[in-house]
Amino acid sequence: MDFSFTPEEDRFRAEVRQFLSKELPSDWTFLEDEFADDHTRWQFVIEFKKKLAVKGWLTLSWPKEFGGVGASHLTQTIYNEELAYARAPGRDIFGTRMLGPVLMLYGTNDQQNQFLPPIASGEIQWCQGYSEPNSGSDLASVQLQAVDSGDHFILNGSKMWTSRAHVSDAIFLLARTNPSAPKHKGLSFLLCDLASSGISIEPIPNLAGMHYFNQVRFDDVKVPKGNLIGAKDEGWSVATALLDFERSGIEYSAEAAKTLEELTAFAKTEKRNGMLLSESESVRQSFASLYTQIEVSRLISYRIAWLQSTGAIPNKEASMGKLFGTELQQRIAVFGMQLLGLSGQLTSKSRWAPLEGLILKQYLLSFSTTIRGGTSEIQRNIIAQRGLGLPRK
């Protein structure tokens, strides 16, 4: 089995690295969502996204007829890996990797012409409206009401944990258009302008003190019928197709690799009890174990990209990548906090904080990684049932 890349793929990786080295500050350590609580700083993310769009990278794997480059799945994976490793902003997962492909599958020509170009050019920021106060993993239980009222729908209800809603222009959401229909029926997939009358957005700060979660409330909000994607009451198939596009996984190993490298550099310079941390046998074994796990996660993601290149839709494989990758990120965060010791609890506001408080942020954020995007429990169920053929009970 040949795990090497083609010369063209190697050249593309080098080009992406060169671009990131030129466009990002040399001391760049920020996580993109650190900027989401500040509209002025968020403009850096928007401008960086537009630079990616000019390069044609924002919609790298989109078909050419929709404004993309038509790149291979592996090329797209290389791009995602390099941006994640560099912690580069502007990847726009909601627009380019979720909504865009769904519009290509289910949107009308008019909808594609209206909504795809602004995504491809980086001119619009989308967010996702799935979870609700009483609906998370059980997505089919959403209760946001969308009442048919002639040429538009009227929305009432709320969405919870809506990432970046406060810096977004629009939201794609799942709403109940037929309350009397069975659970997975009577749902519709709608696009809504967040500037619409009747929308209010309330912040939900996370454990790290960062604001990118929100609760979005809808009070008699009008949505044009032209913003219905797919058939009315058949939104479940649209919503689940979108989730297939969301799950790739290379970011998990790339982000983990970057953090482990930073912790390695720290261990080579920090002394405890007169000895460098890197000279400790237990520390060295932990580094070796985590490095090996990163390579496993990386190869799982490459296999997913290969499967996609054959025309297959990874299902259990995507769950394997998500499960292993997110739990790996948690293990690295815990190890990082242990390695840094008590000083690891210092925030970035302290000049004594090692690695500028980055590990503390990642540790606090890591608790959500095995919940959002499908919990670890759900991923294990998928692997057991669809991978191993085990019964539901």
User: In angstroms, rounded to a whole number, what is the distance separating the alpha carbons of residues 69 and 53?
Assistant: 11
DSSP per-residue codes, 114-161: HHHHHHHTT---EEEE--BTTBSS-GGG---EEEE-SSEEEEEEEE-S
Angle at 136 between CA 135 and CA 138, to 5 degrees: 80
Query: Which of 338-354 are b and which e, b meaning 16 or more Cβ less than 10 Å from the residue's Cβ?
Result: ebbeeebebeeeeeebb
Q: Taking each helix axis from N to C terminus, what angle separates 250-269 and 281-309, rounded to the nearest 10 degrees?
A: 160
Q: Which two tokens stand for residue 288?
A: 């070796």
Residues sharing a CB contact under 8 Å with residue 80, sequence separation 6 or more, in sequence order: 91, 248, 250, 251, 254
CB 370 within 8 A of CB 40: no
User: In angstroms, rounded to a whole number, what is the distance separating the alpha carbons of residues 3 and 299?
Assistant: 9
Examine the residue annotation and report whether 246 is marked as an active-site residue of this protein.
yes
**How far apart are the two ends of the chain, measured CA to CA in Å?**
38
CB 317 within 8 A of CB 307: yes
Q: Which helix (H) or strand (E) holds 101?
A: helix 100-106
Nearest to 234 by CA among 278, 277, 287, 184: 184
Name residue 172's beta-bridge partners.
128, 191
User: In angstroms, rounded to a whole number, what is the distance separating the alpha carbons of residues 382 and 390?
Assistant: 10
* Surface-to-core class of residue 140, CB atoms within 10 Å of its CB (0-12 exposed, 13-18 middle, 19+ buried): middle
User: In angstroms, rounded to a whole number, what is the distance separating the alpha carbons of residues 111 and 113?
Assistant: 5
User: In angstroms, rounded to a whole number, what is the distance separating the alpha carbons of residues 151 and 230?
Assistant: 16
Identified catalytic residue from 246, 295, 317, 356: 246
**Residues involved in catalysis:** 246
